[in-house]
Structure 1
Amino acid sequence: MKREPLMTEAYFQEAIAYTRSTITGRTQKLDNDKGQLKKPQVLAHANFRDQCELLIARYSAGEPVSALVGDLETIVSAWERCLASSPPSPNDLAYLDEYVRSLWIVSLALIFRADDALWQRILACAGNEGRDRLFERLVARRTAGRQPATALLHPRAYAFLDQAAEKTSADEVIRFLKAWYPALQEIGWHDCHKGPEGGGFFGYWAIEAAGVAVAFGIDDASFRDMPYYPKDLADHGRSA
């Protein structure tokens, strides 16, 4: 059953098919490149972005969470290819888009119980060790001994979730979910559902809230039906 209320099931099925086709086309260009492409890194980054959004679109459309687990490795492979493109452009958590995407991927890795090899690949792609407190709190649930972080790079959007992780507090998650969408107005996909024919909309889900709830054992009974909370992801993470 479709999870995202803002668009129809038909919209998501068309969007999923289009995104898959677009990724395939870009991949073919990258695989066949003999040096003619002027900016292959642009195509590689677009594929990484779209692989992330494809997983979320499939969740929005109502696909079983178990069917999405294998997509995480595909996302990481696209991330690695993006980071290996020339000129190199390392992940930078100071940029809100990259920060949110990094939180999503780490959260999905914790929810899906990614194996050790895939987890290490994710940490290698994410980089930024010791730069952000919330990111390090999540990573520390699985990897100890990393450089500690004292700063929160995006406090306007993430102070409540950081407090939720520190205090294992459902009340702080509720505050975060209430503020989540307005606080991300500068991100690239904000309000994309208002664009022509859906504007590339893939669904609005605070995956990082589910990541924190699962990783820190926060009871989500008081917020599981709030907008933006992907409760089926959280349920999968708790039952895995």
Structure 2
Amino acid sequence: MSLDWLHNKLNAMSFWKDLKNAFSGKDPNQAFKESIQQEQQQILDSKDKEGVRDKIIGSKAFFTKQIDKVQKRIVQMKQEYDEDKAVNKPDFDFSAYFISFNIKYFQLIQAKYSRGDGVKTILTDCAVLMETVTNFWTPDTDYSDGGDMDFMDLINALSLGILADIDKKYFEELGKVMQEKNFSDFIIDYLLNTQLSDYHIGEELQVPDSKSLQLLSEITKEENKNEAVKKLKLYLDKYYYTLESLDYEYNTHKFENGRNFYGYWCWEAGALVKIKGLDDGILRNNQFYPYDFVHWKDKDTNKSKKTYFFE
């Protein structure tokens, strides 16, 4: 039996197989097409993850969808706010608007950072976030029990303001509101004091039973930098991603295809690293630590030209 005969035999078998597949409705090139499709999908998946900081869902397309959704809602809310402001008296209570603005701007910042956006493109959003806090932490509300606002929302706003190097006027206005109401909390006062050197720091915690806030308080008081960063690592590893710390944000990536998930960034950890001048090498790979936001460059750009958003 010659090799030529065998080669011709195999070609004939392939011909009849292709002919049979053609009459049976099967594409003889289906396996090849599926292989190409798989390779193309792998390339698309790789591009979708490229540059994304979030490692939990890790999809640029996902966070783009979240950002678009939030931005559209902010535009609607701003239009509603402007319309109400035009017809109501100056002493009308707009606090409900600002609570909603605070939630949406925080989601926007989280999602942009998670997607991998440049930090300098997020700085203005941080200033607006601080502005929303000041506008609903008004002297007309009783904050003797910590207020209706989730306590970590205030810490997040202050931490982002510190990380973004926003103008001191935002801290001054918030501090003025809190002093007028005699509101004091050790951690909040400490964060304000880092920006306003004469701001008085109270001794008590508004939420004294919180283990995470107790540890956070210890870190602020720790003078040894090595010990401080070790405690901060403990905070990130054991105390941050909990129901107590994250409240309604906890586990949102698991529900309704992540509809309410924007990222789990621990902004207070970044703020303390910046304030205390800590070496955060051991924190860099923690999935909740916003390393890039702590180390962004050319900070003076976008710093002093911001005007108020709610005028």
Gap runs ≥5 in structure 1:
none
Change (3 A) 1:215 1:47: same
1:204 and 2:264 are equivalent in the alignment: yes
Distance 1:158 1:55, change over 3 A: same
Could you tell me which of 5, 20, 39 is aligned with 2:71?
Answer: 20
Match of residue 154 from structure 2: 102
- Residue in 2 that maps onto 1:144: 197
Aligned counterparts of 2:142 and 2:166: Cα–Cα separation in 1: 23
Q: Equivalent residue for 1:158?
A: 213
- What corresponds to 2:277 in structure 1? 217
Q: What amino acid is the match of 1:15?
A: Q
TM-score, scaled relative to structure 2: 0.66
Q: Distance in 2 between matches of 1:41 and 1:141?
A: 27
Which residue of structure 2 lines up, in the alignment, with residue 3 of structure 1?
Answer: 53
1:113 corresponding residue in structure 2: 165
Asked whether the equivalents of residues 137 and 178 of structure 2 are also in contact (C-alpha less than 8 Å), the reply is no
2:135 is the counterpart of 1:72:
no
Q: How many residues align?
A: 235
Q: By how many angstroms is 1:93 displaced?
A: 7.6
**For each residue in 1:40-71, what CA deviation from the matched residue of structure 2 results, as whole angstroms up to 9, or x when unmatched?**
64343212211122111100110011111111
In 2, Cα distance between the equivalents of 1:59 and 1:211?
15
Q: 1 CA distance for matches of 2:60 and 2:142?
A: 36
Percent sequence identity is 17
1:197, CA displacement in angstroms? 2.8
Distance 1:61 1:76, change over 3 A: same
Q: Is the 8 A contact 1:133 1:150 kept in 2?
A: yes
Give the aligned CA root-mean-square deviation in angstroms.
2.9
* Structure whose CA Rg is larger: 2
| Structure 2 spans left out of the alignment, 5+ residues | 1-50, 301-311
What does the per-residue CA deviation read over 1:9-38, in whole Å, with 9 as the maximum and x for residues that have no partner?
A: 111000100000011112212222346xxx
Q: In structure 2, how many angstroms separate the alpha carbons of the residues matched to 1:124 and 1:98?
A: 20
Higher alpha-carbon deviation: 146-155 or 75-84? 75-84
Q: Secondary structure at the match of 2:52?
A: coil
- Give the 3 Å change call, closer, same or farther, for CA 58–91 of structure 1 in structure 2: farther
Is the CA contact (8 Å cut-off) linking 1:3 and 1:62 kept in structure 2?
yes
Instruction: Determine the C-alpha separation between the residues in 2 that align with 1:221 and 1:239.
Output: 21
Change (3 A) 1:90 1:21: farther
Q: CA deviation at 1:190?
A: 1.5
Secondary structure of residue in 2 paired with 1:157: helix
What SS does the corresponding residue of 1:57 show, helix, strand or coil? helix
Q: Deviations over 1:186-237 (max 9, x none)?
A: 6122122122131311100110000001001111111221121111111128
Are 1:129 and 1:136, in contact at CA under 8 Å, matched by a contact in 2?
A: no
Structure 1 range deviating more: 127-136 or 10-19? 127-136
Conservation of the 8 A alpha-carbon contact between 1:76 and 1:121: no
The DSSP-based 3-state class of the residue aligned with 1:49 is helix
Following TM superposition, by how much is the alpha carbon of 1:129 offset from its aligned partner in structure 2, in angstroms? 6.0
Counterpart Cα distance in 2 of 1:109 and 1:2: 23
TM-score, scaled relative to structure 1: 0.84
